[in-house]
Amino acid sequence: MKTPTLPLFNYTPKPYTGPSAEEVLRLRKEFLSPALFLYYKKPVMFVEGKGQYIFDEKGRRYLDGLGGIVTISVGHCHPHVLEAVNKQNATLQHSTTIYLHPNIAEFGQKLASKMPGDLKVCYFVNSGSEANDLAMLMARAYTGNYDMIALRNSYHGGNASGMAATSHSTWKFNVPHSFGVHHAMAPDPYRGPYGRNDPDAGKKYAADVKNLIDFGTSGQIAGFIAESIQGVGGVIVFPDGYLKHAYEHARAAGGVCIADEVQAGFARTGTHYWGFETQGVIPDIVTMAKGIGNGCPLAAVVTTPQIASVLAKRIHFNTFGGNPVVCAQGKAVMEVIEKENLQANALNMGSYVLAGLERLKEKHNIIGDVRGKGLMLGIELVKDRTTKEPAKSECAQILETCKDLGLLLGKGGLTGNIIRFAPPMCINKGDADFMLEVFDAAFSTL
């Protein structure tokens, strides 16, 4: 089998003159938190990005198949985004919401125009963790109730409230944080009791939300929070109808429904702009981050005027939320998604890759499942398709081999046996073919 080759790309990275990767690693070990982890046995250092590609300090090009952990939506250093950011940086870098500034108002209008129903009020923060923290505060303040329902296998952030809603032991420290949060069964069609061939799977999984409300709470809840597609959990796509029935149970118990769009939002699913739209529902609160800013520290909570009004009962302020620079970047990102038809590209390229992965599944028995929507795809690796024993070490080796061949990927799931593919939405057919060739070559080494 010939070595896969990246598509031609008419761009030459700038010469790098900074410290070596070895020196950076030494400094990192001495001065940075030991909690920071690295993916590869031999750490790789990136110093420049362009479009769907990223370059190491020696000028080698890689396809960024993880998109900076599902964050680079329109491509690294997109010229339209750079123009907007550079212009604002040269004018005014910081102003808080205690003063007027056009960027936050115009960005809020732009974002609200993409939301269905009465979801028209925006509150800008700096990260997905902050957004989910604020959403849960809103839910509790609005309903007057305390208990929250989240899902097993979920990830909602690393702060105290995000960690409480998260349901992965690998992401939860042994400190008090989960007061009032209860976790329902994960609606996983591959590993759960109800599979893809069950037309009522969504309704059956959602019944556990009702069961949890009845037996684990007072019967009245503040809200239900769920990622529209579970990302860190391994790209778990819910059965049709799941959110519809889960929302019904939550609202019947007095709760509001929160959609975490940190990874699935901003056209990544291809068929829709928001992940929750693939389930045919309208939440009461939506949280978003990552792809909203194409790499800058920007996040938002969007809700209805009625729910938003509860924050006016106290003082609530975020120093950097709505900063003029990040708002310029966020608005520019949305303009690129529209102008370059990236939602359609995410659908077309995602469907093409998914079909290719299905063919690879027939060839390589280690592939237990392939799934996803648009350019948010997962490949679950198992030692045995019958027992579904996770192939953890094999997954790590596949990531190493793919990196050596020029493809960067992510992993997910509790045991790290699920490959995650979520590249910038500007990838082309040549990139997709390269990725499939790399996978075939990597799986053939096991």
Report whether 350 contacts 370 (CB < 8 A): no
Residue 345 CB partners (closer than 8 Å, separation 6+): 425, 426, 427
Mean pLDDT rounded to a whole number for the chain: 97
Tokens of 333: 């990102």
Phi/psi region, residue 247 (left: phi>0; alpha: psi -120 to 50; beta: rest), is alpha
Point out the domain boundary residue: 294, 312, 339. Answer: 339
The band of 210, judged by pLDDT with boundaries at 50, 70 and 90, is very high
Q: Return the SS3 of 108.
A: helix
Are 167 and 47 in the same domain?
no
Rounded Cα–Cα distance for residues 314 and 311 (Å): 6
Q: Tell whether 292 is covered by a domain.
A: yes
Query: 36 and 131: one domain?
Result: no
Q: Is there a domain that residue 145 lies in?
A: yes
- For the chain, the C-alpha Rg in angstroms (whole number) is 22
What is the tens place of the pLDDT at every residue in 380-394?
A: 999 999 999 999 999
Q: Is residue 11 assigned to a domain?
A: no
CA distance 155 to 236: 12
Residue 347 located in a structural domain? yes
Whether 10 is covered by a domain: the verdict is: no
Identify whether residues 32 and 107 lie together within a single domain: no
Which CATH number fits the domain that encloses residue 406? 3.90.1150.10
229: in domain: yes
Residues 6 or more apart in contact with residue 108 via CB below 8 angstroms: 122, 124
Q: What is the pLDDT of residues 165-204, one digit of tens each?
A: 999 999 999 998 889 999 999 999 999 999 999 999 999 9
Tell me: do 284 and 408 sit in the same domain.
no
pLDDT of res. 390:
98
- Least confident segment among 35-39, 218-222, 231-235: 35-39
Q: Is the pLDDT of residue 1 over 90?
A: no
Nearest to 86 by CA among 98, 78, 96: 78
CB 337 within 8 A of CB 343: yes
Same-domain pairing of 290 and 321: yes
pLDDT for residue 107 is more than 80: yes
- Residues 238 and 345 occupy one common structural domain: no
- Indicate the number of domains in the chain: 2
Same domain, 93 and 56: no
> Using one digit for the tens of pLDDT, what is the confidence trace for 8-52?
999 999 999 999 999 999 999 999 999 999 999 989 999 999 999
Average pLDDT over residues 287-300: 98
Query: Which of 293, 319, 339 is the C-terminal boundary of a domain?
Result: 339
What type of residue sits at position 265? G
Tell me, what's the pLDDT at 211? 98
Q: Are residues 251 and 375 in the same domain?
A: no
53, pLDDT greater than 90:
yes
Q: Are 126 and 205 in contact (CB under 8 A)?
A: no
The domain that holds 311 is classified in CATH as 3.40.640.10
Domain closes at, from 339, 370, 404: 339
pLDDT for the residue numbered 96: 94
pLDDT digits (tens, 9 = 90+) for 74-87: 999 999 999 999 99
Q: Is residue 4 part of a domain?
A: no
304/317 Cα distance (integer angstroms): 19
Question: 346 and 440, same structural domain?
Answer: yes
Q: Which domain holds residue 394?
A: 21-70+341-444
Q: For residue 407, is it within any domain?
A: yes
Residues 406 and 284 in one domain: no
Q: What does the pLDDT look like over 258-282, one tens digit per residue?
A: 999 999 999 999 999 999 999 999 9
Can you give the pLDDT at residue 387? 98
User: pLDDT at position 178, please?
Assistant: 87
Q: Which of 190, 158, 165, 157 is nearest to 379 (CA)?
A: 190
- Same domain for 228 and 332? yes
Shared domain check, 195 and 130: yes
- Could you tell me how many helices (H) and strands (E) the chain has, helices first? 13, 17
pTM of this prediction?
0.97
Distances from the Cα of 98 to the Cαs of 304, 318, 330, in angstroms?
22, 10, 20
